[in-house]
Amino acid sequence: MSPHAPLSGGVGADRGDLTWVDLVWYEGRIEHWIRFGAPVAEHILDRRRRRLGFAPGSVFAFVRWQAGDRGTVASRIVIVQTVDAGSAYATTPGVHPGGRLLLRIAGWPRVQRVLAAIDAIERLELEAREVAPDHWRQVHNRLSARAEPEPYTPLRHRAWRQRCELGAP
């Protein structure tokens, strides 16, 4: 199926400004899921596949995991900020057309560390999709350097929100 094929039957399926994410679920073999984010449209392809649409400027985490006969073969997580139509973007499998990559990590132990960082943010009763994009870049850079990411704090979040209010994200 072409990622640009027209969709029918989904909420908002006719909106060309959305970034679409392909989700797949074959229990224990191939599992692609959204860890956080707020889709504005959904199109169910069949009982194992669906597509979610995200509005420009949205942030979401997309996990891709695959197993073989002897366990995990591949695991990846990307945190993507969607862009406006006509803006530059990076491509990543399963995300159409693409977006601004804030974090891209491969390997199950490192993916688990990203998931733990997301859990820590949610324990602060913050929405992970509303966290400063710089935090996700920092997590990416620290994990890539085999270092411990800096924790996200309510003070840092408040500073981010104030920057946004001033129009200087």
39 occurs within a structural domain: yes
Q: Which residue(s) pair with 78 in the sheet?
A: 62, 104
What values do phi and psi take at 85, rounded to 5? -55, 135
Nearest to 53 by CA among 69, 70, 66, 34: 34
Residue 164: how many CA atoms within 13 Å on its side-chain side? 12
Q: Report pLDDT for 64.
A: 97
Distance CA 112, CA 103 (A): 14
pLDDT, tens digit, for every residue of 96-108?
A: 999 999 999 999 9
Domain that holds residue 73: 19-165
66 pLDDT exceeds 50?
yes
Instruction: State residue 1's pLDDT score.
Output: 36
* 8-state DSSP, 27: T
Predicted confidence at residue 70, as pLDDT, reads 85
Higher pLDDT, 71 or 55: 55
Higher pLDDT, 77 or 7: 77
Helical pair 133-144 and 108-123, crossing angle rounded to 10 deg: 150
Mean pLDDT of the chain, nearest integer: 90
Position 112 in a domain: yes
Please state, for a pLDDT cut of 90, what percent of the chain lies above it: 81
Per-residue pLDDT, 44: 96
Mean pLDDT of 83-111: 94
Looking at the domain assignment, is residue 77 inside a domain? yes
**Domain annotation covers residue 14:** no
Residue 6 clears pLDDT 70, i.e. is over it: no
- When divided into structural domains, the chain yields a total of 1
- Counting every residue written for the chain, the total comes to 169
Q: Is residue 8 part of a domain?
A: no
* pLDDT for residue 169: 62
Residue 127 lies in a domain: yes
pLDDT digits (tens, 9 = 90+) for 115-158: 999 999 999 999 999 999 999 999 999 999 999 999 999 999 99
Indicate whether 14 pLDDT > 60: no
pLDDT band for position 15 (cuts 50, 70, 90): low
Residue 49, in any domain of the structure = yes
Q: Between residues 36 and 86, which one has the greater pLDDT?
A: 36
Q: What pLDDT, on a 0 to 100 scale, did the predictor assign at position 79?
A: 98
| Number of CB atoms found within 10 A of residue 53's CB | 23
Q: For residue 108, is it within any domain?
A: yes
